[in-house]
Amino acid sequence: MDNKIYCIGCGVEIQSEDPKKQGYLPKNVVEKSEDSQLVCKRCFRLKNYNEVSDVELGADDFYQLIKSLSKKDALIAKVVDIFDFSGSWIEDVVDIVGNNKDIVLIANKLDLLPKSVKQNKIKQWLFKVLKEKGIKVKDILLVSAIKNQGVEEAAVRLDQLRNGKDVYIIGATNVGKSTFINKLIELTSGDKNVITTSHFPGTTLGMIEIPLDRATSIYDTPGIILDYDIAHYLDAKSLKLVMPKKEIKARIFQLNAEQSLFFGGMARMDFVKGERQSFTLYASNLVEIHRTKLSNADALFEKHLGQMLKPPFEDNISIFGKQVRKSFKIDNRKTDIVISGLGWITVNSDSGCKIDILVPEEIEVFVRESII
Ligand code: GDP
């Protein structure tokens, strides 16, 4: 017997177990309803409050969803968190939707970067990453959804680029996709009643539709949790410290070779070789940095992980107990070593140096030309 109920808005199966997953509706609402014309909480919020909220998909379902986009003649707007940018996920998505799609990259959370970061440098860096990966995008738009910076310009640009077609907005969880779409809704819907949710017959993909005009729409899609991002492994208490809320302040350390810096207990930088020089750290202001001699670093980590070296906290060490060494040879150009989800270290070395980053294997670490 099939007693499953589907949301009449987005078509996904209604469930009452997990508020973060798609199709959620509290049990008492489901039980009280007399017919099967139910909408999930996400569609309900859109319909009644003109507000989208993020829901998560498992990786398989997410890639299935992305795959379905490859068949549509539409503009795909990919939202990324500029502070927590990982090229890998862009690559994955483009592999699936194909390189002949119209893609625009929306880099959000501009407000978190120090004011000294030049916007054109960020754009250059992003274009370079995409080029190296062989990915073509129509444009890169820098915004701060929360501060409403660049959102109006982005709306105008999206409208030009879509050329009368639909727009699908995709993004990983926490990049600010909902915040961005909600700002777009505010801008585009003079008449708040235009917001509807509509069902894709024959699919259970959980996209929801926000009409732009009579013929075309923006579609909000569920997000995915990326497993190479530090945020994936931290509990709520730790995330509050690690995800910056305010503009990041640079922290400068003068180090000799064979000194180490700990980012809480999440990552460690070993200055292996090179002349005395300064290292500038950019991470949430609430993450404590500890300095020690390289020769003491292992022992310190073993003794203090979860206590002095936190986050992570003692009761939830997760993957952080086991670190691997990722080595980087830095030349004399100003370089950022980026630890996905945590921040970056700017190295400005006259004569080059050797740096090791110790992190759990799962966490992505990469270098880029400095954006400062
Ligand atoms: P989603 O999961 O991608 O839909 O992301 P949300 O829109 O729910 O945002 C995730 C978190 O990032 C929330 O705490 C937001 O307040 C925050 N956020 C969203 N946009 C911005 C932004 O432009 N700047 C900053 N600093 N935070 C943002």
Structure-model confidence comparison of residues 232 and 128, the more confident one: 128
- Mean pLDDT score of the chain: 87
Look at residue 84 and tell me whether its pLDDT is greater than 60: yes
Q: What is the mean pLDDT of residues 165-178?
A: 88
- Calpha distance 330→323 (Å, rounded): 21
Q: What pLDDT is recorded for position 201?
A: 45
Q: What is the pLDDT of residue 193?
A: 42
Report how far ligand 1's centroid is from the alpha carbon of 108 (Å). Answer: 8
Mutate to test the pocket of ligand 1, among 62, 78, 85, 174 (most ligand atoms within 8 A of CB): 174
For the chain, percent of residues with pLDDT exceeding 90 = 49
109 lines ligand 1 (CB under 6 A): yes
- Of the chain, the percentage scoring pLDDT greater than 70 comes to 94
Segment among 46-50, 157-161, 362-366 with least mean pLDDT: 46-50
Q: What is the ipTM of this complex?
A: 0.99
Q: Is 144 close to ligand 1, i.e. is its CB under 6 Å away?
A: yes
- Check residue 6 and give its pLDDT: 86
- As a whole number, mean pLDDT of residues 346-350 equals 92
> Pairing state of beta strands 259-263 and 289-293?
antiparallel
Q: What is the token pair recorded at 121?
A: 């440098």
- What are the φ and ψ backbone dihedral angles of 241, each rounded to 5 degrees? -85, -30
Q: What's at 139, amino acid-wise? A: D
CA of 278 to the centre of ligand 1 (A): 32
Mean pLDDT value across residues 119-129: 90
